[in-house]
Chains A and B, each alone.
Chain A
Amino acid sequence: MKFAVIEFPGSNCDHDAYHATKHVLGQQAEFVWHKETDLRGADVVVLPGGFSYGDYLRTGAIARFSPVMACVCEFAHAGGPVIGICNGFQVLLEVGLLEGALLRNNRLKFLCEHIHVRVEQTDTPFTSGAVAGQVLTLPIAHGEGNFHASPETLVALEANRQVVFRYCAADGAQTDAANPNGSAHAIAGVCNVERNVVGLMPHPERACESMLGSADGRVVLESVINTFASAGAA
């Protein structure tokens, strides 16, 4: 299948996503510059991590107006799988494909470490290969990953089972100590109501080879590849 990796000025995990999808998982991958207005026939869209527009104003706030985002929204509304990682998650929230916002980490520190997340939902294209409750070890690298939403939105996200990843301890337990940035409900990633758009702060694309410290992120990318393969076979 073909991955489109969107590049904004300031993206810096675009090559990680390209490497993981193309060289590790053997799929087609293409960079798509943010000024473009065509996703080049991609089957899945990756909004990578980084500091689009230098994080000026708010993270993701200016990138959401890039020309390519109209195509990404159209692709998402048609049911195409879209994943936003870190800054890509921030862009998805700003553009309104996902609900909520990301605030400064509650202790203000830029966090660059491996953490644990629990897979809460397996009926998204990016978690279909995981087991519910599976604990993944993934890297985070962000200063603004503190998930926030109104109390009403949090209730709706939980009721609709839109919380896809939650920070947890190594054994899967949800503890305050395991929540690195103060996120409401320990939310590390969410999906839209239709479940085809997923955003998360941790970096699965940087955890696809054991020599990099963890290969737990592979399940996220392999899920969408297998979802696509089985849809094609059906």
Chain B
Amino acid sequence: MKTRVFVTLKPSVFDPQGRTIVEALQSMGYGSVRDVRQGKYFELDVAAESADAARSVASEVADKLLANPVIESYRIEVDGDDGS
């Protein structure tokens, strides 16, 4: 089951890469882009019976490996699951 994990720096953590990107965009004339936060995107193919089961696995691996809870948070999407 296709499962997507989005890892981003917590809002309280300074993102120098995002800052550099937004400054580049503004110098290119995109003044309407007020902020950029760079993150990581993972596509997991999980052998699972249900979206809930896939979400549970993704959440576990995000906690253990994909994200560092000191500086990052994450969000999960599973195909066929509206996330509710």
Least CB separation from B12: chain A residue: A150
Least Cβ–Cβ distance between A62 and chain B, in angstroms: 8
Which among A62, A65, A94, A108 is the interface contact of B68 at CB below 8 angstroms? A94
- For residue A159, CB closer than 8 A to chain B, the reply is no
Contact A108 B17 (CB under 8 A): yes
Per the bound structure, the CA–CA distance linking A182 and B19 in Å amounts to 14
| Secondary structure type dominating chain B contacts | loop
The answer for the CA separation of A65 and B65 in the assembled complex, in Å, is 9
B20 CB–A CB distance under 8 Å: yes
> In the complex, A57 Cα to B12 Cα: how many Å?
21
In the assembled complex, which residues on chain B have CB atoms less than 8 Å from the CB atom of A150?
12, 70
**In the assembled complex, which residues on chain A have CB atoms less than 8 Å from the CB atom of B12?**
150
Set of chain B residues within 8 Å of A103, measured between Cβ atoms: 13-14, 16, 71
Distance in angstroms between the alpha carbons of A180 and B58 in the assembled complex = 37
Asked if B70 and A149 make an inter-chain contact with CB atoms under 8 angstroms apart, the answer reads: yes
Determine if B16 and A148 form an interchain contact, defined as CB atoms under 8 angstroms apart. Answer: no
Contact across chains for B70 and A108 when beta carbons are under 8 A apart: no
**Interface size, chain B (Cβ < 8 Å):** 11
A148/B17 in contact, CB under 8 A = no
Is B70 within 8 A of A104, CB to CB? no
B16 touches A106 (CB 8 A): yes
Report the interface size class on chain A.
20 to 34
Interface mask (B65-79 → A, CB under 8 Å = 1, otherwise 0): 110101100000000
Among B13, B20, B65, B66, point to the contact of A148 (Cβ < 8 A): B13
CB contacts (< 8 Å) of B71 on chain A: these are 101, 103, 148
**Which of A57, A65, A99, A182: most chain B CB closer than 10 A?**
A57
A99: which B residues are within 8 A, CB to CB? 70
Q: How far is the CB of B38 from chain A (nearest CB, A)?
A: 10
- Residues of B whose CB lies within 8 Å of any CB of A are 12-14, 16-17, 20, 65-66, 68, 70-71
Query: Which residues of A are interface residues toward B (Cβ below 8 A)?
Result: 57-58, 61-62, 65, 93-94, 99-101, 103-108, 148-150, 182
6 contacts between A and B (CB under 8 A): A61-B68, A94-B68, A101-B70, A103-B14, A106-B14, A182-B14
